[in-house]
Chain A
């Protein structure tokens, strides 16, 4: 019961603030609504007993990536951009794409022959003291089974860091 209440609470916040993020004209308001959506997703992670991802989501997404976004929004000239039309004339493309995605999911449910929520597997409730410690199991999996992808991800982050510095650097700086 509590799980259901928590899920609907966080899911409602996530979907509503995501919709507001896409539709607001002001980019700063959009960034704030995206932060709300990401925090609600962190709540969903906690409800799914993924405590490590909950912390990572808050620290990395909300504390890192969104601060970067807000910095860039402040750097580019907002007042000029606000006067212009914010929406491209691609309403029908968007409708088509979202209908196609929904049809794909409907086809998946139809081909499995089950109604959503009926025959699908149900997440089993485990007692809190019987759950394995989440951070430890994630660390074991990350540093044993997925060690090579982990190292490749660190190289990717290094490349992205160098790329970002090169991109944002002023071109006319003489050495």
Chain B
């Protein structure tokens, strides 16, 4: 079978790609999708360790993370729709109403 390091490196790669997406993209929808990717990378870690130690608690926590991701996507996309209705933009650096 595979060593646990393989899963750690896959998770690290997905996490870093997600962080790069959050930092570099201007479109808020792509930023939210990158956050989903980050949560997914964490899930891979949890499930791999759950398999390693033969304990399903990791899978249960992955379930909770998926529920959190659903809640975050719903609220985030609602905010994006409300903002687009007011300002006609989805670019992160044009959202500067609170910037002094």
Contact = CB atoms under 8 A, between A and B. Distances in A.
Interface of A: 3-4, 7, 11, 14-15, 18-19, 21-22, 27, 30-31, 34, 37-38, 41, 44-45, 48-50, 52-53, 56-57, 60-61, 64-65, 68-69, 72-73, 75-77, 80-81, 84-88, 90-91, 93-94, 97-98, 101-102, 105, 116-118, 120-125, 134, 137-138, 140-142, 145-146, 149, 153, 156-157, 159-161, 163-168, 170
Given A21-B21, A41-B40, A61-B69, A30 B33 contact: yes
23 contacts: A3-B1, A15-B14, A30-B33, A45-B43, A48-B48, A48-B50, A50-B47, A61-B40, A69-B32, A72-B77, A84-B91, A86-B25, A94-B23, A116-B5, A117-B5, A120-B5, A122-B1, A146-B60, A163-B78, A167-B79, A167-B81, A167-B82, A168-B82
Contacts of B1: 3, 122-125
Contacts of A30: 30, 33
Nearest to A146: B60
Among all A-B residue pairs, the 4 with the closest Cβ atoms: A167-B78, A160-B71, A164-B78, A22-B21
A48 B2 CA distance: 10
A87 B26 contact: yes
Contacts, number: 235
A142 B2 CA distance: 28
B34 to A, nearest CB: 7
A50 B51 contact: yes
A89 to B, nearest CB: 9
Contacts of B8: 105, 116
Interface of B: 1-10, 12-21, 23-27, 29-30, 32-34, 36-37, 40, 43-44, 47-48, 50-52, 56-57, 59-60, 62-64, 66-75, 77-82, 84-85, 88-93
